[in-house]
Amino acid sequence: MFLVTGATGDLGRRIVRLLRERDVSARSFVRLDARYAELENRGSEIFIGDLRRERDLHKACQGIQYVISAHGSGETSNGDAETIDYQASIELIDQAKAAGVQHFVFISVLGVDRGYEDAPVFKAKREVEKYLQTSGLSYTILRPSGFASNLLSLAEQFRQTGLYVLIGDPLSRTSIVSTDDLARLAIAAVSAEGAHNQIFAVGGPEILKREDIPQIFSHIFNREPFLLNPPLLAVDGLRNAIGLFNPKLRSSLGTFRTLLANEFFTTAAETERLESTFNIQLEPLETFLRRYLGV
Ligand SMILES: NC(=O)c1ccc[n+]([C@@H]2O[C@H](COP(=O)([O-])OP(=O)(O)OC[C@H]3O[C@@H](n4cnc5c(N)ncnc54)[C@H](OP(=O)(O)O)[C@@H]3O)[C@@H](O)[C@H]2O)c1
């Protein structure tokens, strides 16, 4: 039985879908007010809980062989990296170990080891990685770049308007990963020879410039892009203004700024290592988008 945290998230629901398609038993850790009917309909066990509660984590880990930790402090957690990305993950590791879990897969983030001081999620994930590595649990750490699924709503907006907003340097490089490939990798990590007690950088098969993304949309929808390109300084100004009345939000926006200000791509050697260890061929961004957008 797999336990999947963040099971209602972009990645988590894909992991649960895939497990159930393969008829593998899965327990989805979800909040009562989350949208989990699809997971239940697919035959996943539903565990209602809150990652901030130790007793919920304790109960959720009972009878579990494999944990895939795919939760995160998105908008729905008010960007609380310390509580969700750090404390809940540390407690999950402790409870998994106490319950005799055989393998723990942790979804981290690409660039986590670069020491970004202004990015609470990166700092939390790095500390959790270190804790997991010394926990005595068998583990795999996946460090993904940005998810292709993040672009689906932007693509729909582009389809209607042709508009694309690109903040910061259009030449900055990225290797966006198919969220479905990442789900496959997370599941395969428990059994792939060579994936145990390893860290993998996970990106798509191509290194794109950020300005390539509206061009891909343009190609898919056969429509000229109308590009808005505000500078990073605009985000800084907004962030400072927000900080005057909401210092916590200002701090969590540091992660967003870090993502905009830096390059997140995987090298050819990292891609080759991933593809050979997991025996997978990574999907290009355009293929992913076309599958979901039906074009
Ligand atoms: N998105 C990216 O581009 C990206 C890139 C690199 C790494 N990552 C990492 O990959 C992982 C998955 O990302 P994602 O985009 O799929 O995440 P997401 O869509 O933001 O989903 C977050 C999940 O965490 C759950 N969660 C948050 N607080 C919770 C709590 N207190 N109790 C129970 N569940 C809680 C949410 O539940 P609700 O549905 O109830 O809110 C949701 O299922 C995260 O660790 C993220 O940091 C993401």
- 219 Cα: distance to centroid of ligand 1 (angstroms): 30
Q: How far is CA 228 from CA 164, 209, 210, in A?
A: 6, 16, 13
- Note the pLDDT of residue 248: 84
Q: Is the dihedral of CA 49, 123, 180, 184 positive or negative?
A: negative
CA–CA dist 229, 176 (Å, integer): 20
Assign residue 68 the CATH number of its domain. Answer: 3.40.50.720
The amino acid sitting at 234 is A
The C-alpha torsion from 294 through 17 and 110 to 67, rounded to 10°, is 180
Residue 136, domain member (yes or no)? yes
Residue 103: its H or E element = strand 103-107
Q: Which of 31, 75, 122, 288 to mutate to test the pocket of ligand 1 (most atoms within 8 A of CB)?
A: 31
With a 6 Å cutoff on the Cβ, whether 109 touches ligand 1 is yes
Residue 157, domain member (yes or no)? no
Residue 231, domain member (yes or no)? no
pLDDT-flagged residues of the chain (< 70): 75-79
Nearest Cα neighbor of 63 from 14, 19, 96, 94 is 96
- 281 Cα: distance to centroid of ligand 1 (angstroms): 25
Residue 79's domain comprises 2-147+178-203+265-282
- 88 Cα: distance to centroid of ligand 1 (angstroms): 12
The ligand 1 atom at the shortest distance from the C-alpha of residue 69 is 45
Residue 161, domain member (yes or no)? no
Report the chain's C-alpha Rg in angstroms. Answer: 19
Q: Which of 3, 4, 5, 10 to mutate to test the pocket of ligand 1 (most atoms within 8 A of CB)?
A: 10
With a 6 Å cutoff on the Cβ, whether 203 touches ligand 1 is no
With a 6 Å cutoff on the Cβ, whether 150 touches ligand 1 is yes
With a 6 Å cutoff on the Cβ, whether 107 touches ligand 1 is yes
Burial class (CB in 10 A: 0-12, 13-18, 19+), 105: buried
The ligand 1 atom at the shortest distance from the C-alpha of residue 8 is 43
Residue 56, domain member (yes or no)? yes
Residue 134, domain member (yes or no)? yes
Residue 209, domain member (yes or no)? no
Residues 6 or more apart whose CB falls under 8 angstroms from that of 207 comprise 173, 174, 175, 265, 266
The amino acid sitting at 268 is A
- Note the pLDDT of residue 78: 66
- Note the pLDDT of residue 109: 98
With a 6 Å cutoff on the Cβ, whether 144 touches ligand 1 is yes
With a 6 Å cutoff on the Cβ, whether 190 touches ligand 1 is no
Count other C-beta atoms under 10 Å from residue 75's C-beta: 6
With a 6 Å cutoff on the Cβ, whether 147 touches ligand 1 is yes
**Is 5:71 a contact under the CB 8 Å cutoff?**
yes
Residue 9, domain member (yes or no)? yes
Domain count, the chain: 1
User: In this structure, which residue's CA is closest to atom 7 in ligand 1?
Assistant: 109
With a 6 Å cutoff on the Cβ, whether 50 touches ligand 1 is yes
With a 6 Å cutoff on the Cβ, whether 71 touches ligand 1 is yes
- Note the pLDDT of residue 183: 98
CA–CA dist 208, 163 (Å, integer): 19
